[in-house]
Every structure is written in C-alpha cells, then in structure tokens.
Amino acid sequence: MEFNASAANLLNIKVDSLILLTGSQLQNTAKLLDDSLNGAIQALIKSGDFSGKLATSCILHTQGKASKRIILIGTDGAATTQKMIKVMESAASLLRKTPSQKALWIGDSFNDDHEWQASIMARSVQTSSYKYNGSSKPSKPNKLKSVTYWCAKKSQTVSAAKGLVYGNAVGNGMNTARGLADLPANFCTPNYLASQAKKLSKGQAKVTTNILKEADMKALGMGSLLSVSAGSVEPGNLIVMSYQGAPKTAKPVVLVGKAVTFDTGGISLKGGRGMDEMKFDMCGGASVFGVISALIDTQLPINVVGIVPAVENMPAGNATKPGDVVTSMSGQTIEVLNTDAEGRLILCDALTYAARFKPDTVIDIATLTGAVIGALGKVTAGLLSNDDELAGQLLSGGTLSGDRAWRLPLWEEYDKQLKSNFADMANIGGEAGTITAACFLARFTRDYKWAHLDIAGTAWHSGPAKGATGRPVPMLMEYLRTKASS
C-alpha cells in the first residue's frame, strides 16, 4: 500500500474515490467540492439521503469529474478522539468495499493536527485490508493500491507525511499480531512462534532474536514457567527479540507478552463451550511481535526488548496438579491452587528474567483474567502499575490512539489474598481476580518501574466477527513514540 501527502488542486487529482468526512453543515473543502458539483452534496443532505450524523455514509457518483465517486462519512457528534477515530475507521472500511485502486482522503475534517489525522487514516486503511484465509480457495487480492492524504496548505504535508509513515507501521503491526493470533493452535505452537521471531529479525540490522529452550530455562531456575508446559508434548520457548534504535547505553523498555498458544486450563480443565477461543491466549505475545514489526518500519530512536514466554497448557499424567508447589526463577515458591491461572506462572519468570536487561521500564501484556471482562467489558484494557507516571503515560497513549485502558488499584488489602500455608504465595486469591493476579505479578517487579495490561476483554472479538483485534499495539506504540521523542 502506498501512502502520500499532497496539497495539489484537489479538483484536478484523478482518483477512483474521494473520501470526504463532513457534517450536515458544509464548510471549507466540503463546500468547495459541493460548489464544483453544483450543490449535489447539499441536495443529498436536504433529501435525507445523507444526514451527516456520526459515521453515517453515502456514495455520490460524479459525472466526468476527476474523482469517479465521493464517499461521504458523517462527522456530526464527533466530539471526542474516540468518535473521530470511529468516523475514520468507517470511511476506511467503506472505501475497501468499492472497486477503487486510487483514493484521495480530504484531511481537514477535524482539526489542524494533520500528523494525527494522517496516522489514524493510514492505520485504519491498513487494518481494514486484513484478511485471514484458512480455506482452500485463494483470497481475492486487495484492489486498493494507493491513498493520498490531501492538505489545504503545502506546509501541512510535512507533518501529514510523518503521520502516514507512523500510522502505516502501526496498522501493519496490528495485522502482524492478528495474523499470529488467528492461526489455529495446531499451527501456532511455541516452536512456530520462535521461528516467526527469527523470521522477523532476519536481515534487520537493529533487531536480534534469541530463543531459550526448556533446558536453558531449567538451568535458569524457571520452575514456574516450566510447570505450565510440563503436560504438553509441545516444548516451551522463551523468545527474546531486541530492537536497538538508540545507543547501547540507553536503558530499554522491556515488553513481556504472555503466549499460551492453547489453554485447556490444564488439570483445572475449562468448560468445553468457547474453548476454541483459547487459541487467542497468546495475544499478549502476538502484540509484542506487532510492536517489534512497527518499530522496524518506524525506526524509532529507542531500545526495546520483547520477551515472549510461549507454552501450551495441557492436561496429562505429568501435568502440574492443584496443590503442587513450584519454585520460580526469583527463588520464591508458589502453591498452584488452580492450573488455569497459568499466565501469571509463565509471566513471573519472564518478569524476573527482564531485570537482567537493566530496564528503564517493564510492561507486561496478557489475556490474564476473565474477571477483567466482568469489570470493564470488552471496551478497554485493565491497567495496573507500581508507578503513577508510567500509568499516566500509558493512559494518555491509549486515549490518543483510541486503544484505551482503565487503571485499577494495587492495594495491600488485595495482596493479602495470595497467602499460602505451604509456599511463599498462592497463584490465585479470592475476590477481584484481575487485581489479585496483578498483585501476584507485582511480587516479581519490585526492582523496576512496571505496568500490567490485562487485555482479556480487548484482544479478540467473539461471535460472527470472531478474530484478533491487534490491540494493544496502538497504545504501546504511542507510548514508545512519546518516550523516544522526550
């Protein structure tokens, strides 16, 4: 996909589709276009064929004009960042449904922040192109080849072009994460993820990949992580991808992504209904792949280490049993009261391992608890952190990117629920499962700034539109971009 910015005379730019985001009151470029069409847009509004209300749409076919069709998307009521993004995503989706190969996107719909608008546009166009094809029939190729973001002033094209590069990269990163997460678990095994990490870094001067096998992890004392993979014929892997965009002396941001490639619950077996969706229990790890992909495209001047503990959680004669006690890499012992609370068991050893990189910040991403869906639904991720500034930065990045999070507390009263009579801690508490899960992880992150993102509600859609979302790649990239520029 080719993206570019232009301030040329829009009435002379020949394209298959022109995308105009406008309300019922035509202003600026919308009025100019309407005048060139002898009031055709205003006529659609008066007739009721186009209301201008939020994300409503209409296609106007022109006669002999430079643009063969004008795609109208309503903006009335787009008073928040989230609603602006909704409008642009609707426009990108409708554009994809037309036979257009070249499109022109009018970029003066909301505000003067052309870098932001162009980035969301490019991201939306890229993510709308995503297709998972598991059938024997080849998928139809995307017709759309190029989109030009139009600015009223030439001076605005510089920031717009910058936004296009960034948005394109984030969109590609989201699609990378979705492509891995949508794969069935008989294809996407821990070994497969390791091979994809090597493939991602191949030929990339700024990215190196190291894979720790089970023997390596055993030597490091990762008894907690290995207790999860014990019942599976698929060996676990600890995948480490390092992106160096800044001098080696700069402390890295470490991203730790949970990748349980299939989660049966182990001996604490899950119910059969909806268990097929447990292939998505590796979406945290997939998002780390997506971020590394986006970093390669953007070349951000920052150091990032992506750690992905990849395992399969299966019941077997040698699987970990409820009541077993395991020793983590940190030396702390854990009573495994529920083998379906396995994500925290692999994350705790990965978080201990993260300390060897002397990190500036550590963020873990995990489809960790069903409780977060009960608390927040499928709208926003749960955020818990031991650092107020870090939490604020992630929340701000989530708002700006439309990939939001909501902060929950990490109080001592919750941590007390992890008490065990037979080990340093139990792997589950009582009430407030999302919070007690984070309290468990917090016991392994006391030496650095850390945040936890529980994405169990946002990482994938169920039902007819079943599939991974690519979240929270936008939030993480916004955080990294801001940090790289500070």
Please write the tens of the pLDDT for every residue from 266-294.
999 999 999 999 999 999 999 999 999 99
Q: What pLDDT does 109 receive?
A: 82
Please write the tens of the pLDDT for every residue from 144-181.
999 999 999 999 999 999 999 999 999 999 999 999 99
On whether the CB atoms of residues 300 and 351 are closer than 8 A, the answer is: no
Tell me the C-alpha distance between 114 and 118, whole Å. 6
Q: What pLDDT does 163 receive?
A: 98
- Residues 15-19 have a mean pLDDT of 98
Burial 134-155 (b: 16+ CB within 10 A, else e): eeeeeeeeeebeebbbbbbeee
The Cα-based distances of 104 to 120, 144, 166, 352 in angstroms read: 15, 11, 19, 49
Which residue, among 429, 455, 261, 426, has the nearest Cα to 348 in the 3D structure? 426
Tokens linked to 443: 């016991």
Tell me the C-alpha distance between 330 and 263, whole Å. 25
Listing from the earlier edge strand, what are the strands of the sheet with 102-106?
2-6, 146-150, 102-106, 15-22, 67-74, 57-61
Report, in angstroms and rounded to the nearest whole number, the Rg of the chain calculated over CA atoms: 24
Percentage of residues of the chain with pLDDT beyond 70: 100
Task: Assign domain 183-485 to its CATH superfamily.
Answer: Zn peptidases (3.40.630.10)
**Contacts for 39 with CB less than 8 Å, ≥ 6 apart:** none
Q: What pLDDT does 116 receive?
A: 97
Q: What pLDDT does 292 receive?
A: 98
**Boundaries of CATH 3.40.220.10 in the chain?**
2-130+141-173
On whether the CB atoms of residues 232 and 225 are closer than 8 A, the answer is: no
Tell me the C-alpha distance between 178 and 102, whole Å. 26
What CATH number was assigned to the domain covering residues 2-130+141-173? 3.40.220.10
User: Where do we find the tokens 């992880």?
Assistant: 441
User: Where do we find the tokens 């297709």?
Assistant: 131
Catalytic residue ranges: 270, 344
Please write the tens of the pLDDT for every residue from 293-340.
999 999 999 999 999 999 999 999 999 999 999 999 999 999 999 999
Q: What is the pTM of this model?
A: 0.97
State phi, psi for 333 to the nearest 5 degrees. -95, 150
Q: What pLDDT does 212 receive?
A: 98
Tell me the C-alpha distance between 350 and 282, whole Å. 15
Please write the tens of the pLDDT for every residue from 327-373.
999 999 999 999 999 999 999 999 999 999 999 999 999 999 999 99
State phi, psi for 256 to the nearest 5 degrees. -115, 115
Specify whether the backbone of 77 is left (phi greater than 0), alpha (psi in -120 to 50) or beta.
Answer: left
Which residue, among 74, 42, 72, 37, has the nearest Cα to 58 in the 3D structure? 72
User: Which burial class, exposed, middle or buried, applies to 50 when counting CB atoms under 10 A from its CB (0-12, 13-18, 19+)?
Assistant: buried
| pLDDT of 110 higher than 90 | no
**Boundaries of CATH 3.40.630.10 in the chain?**
183-485
Tell me the C-alpha distance between 202 and 209, whole Å. 9
> What is the pLDDT confidence band of residue 461, given thresholds at 50, 70 and 90?
very high
| pLDDT of 108 higher than 90 | no
